[in-house]
Amino acid sequence: MRKVTVTLAALLGLALGGASGLYAHLAEAQAGTVIVQQGIAFKPGKATVKAGGQITFRNEDPFGHNVYSPSKGGIFDIGLQAPDSETAVAFKEPGEYIIQCRIHPKMRAVITVTQ
């Protein structure tokens, strides 16, 4: 069931967020950095990944969240993320990206992408 949820979340994210050369949605999470959505917060609030690396966003709250970045050069929106689901996003370009939740605007994290 989790695999179906992740695949549906990724497809919904593509439909709502469009495609960009700076990120790629992945249907299944692979090993790498994980940011958990729990207690209406991103944990940890800061993460670093090398260019081309990915971060998995895992919703451990009992309600939906959203993950998006309004940052220039790294704009993406994965759409509604259901409880107990995860979606991985690959960051291709170095820079600093603010991550937020449209449902809970005070949720913020910072992703630093290095060379």
Q: Supply the pLDDT for residue 51.
A: 94
Strand partners, 95: 113
Domains in the chain, number:
1
Pairwise CA distance, residues 87 & 16, whole Å: 14
DSSP string, 22-70: TEEEESS--SSEEEEE-SSSEESSEEEEETT-EEEEEE-SSS-EEEEE-
* CATH classification of the domain holding 6: 2.60.40.420
Q: What is the pLDDT along the chain (115 residues), one digit of tens a residue?
A: 444 444 444 444 444 444 444 444 333 334 589 999 999 999 999 999 999 999 999 999 999 999 999 988 778 999 999 999 999 999 999 999 999 999 999 999 999 999 9
Q: Supply the pLDDT for residue 31.
A: 53
**Overall pTM > 0.85:** no
- Residue 43 sits in which domain range? 2-114
Q: Supply the pLDDT for residue 73.
A: 75
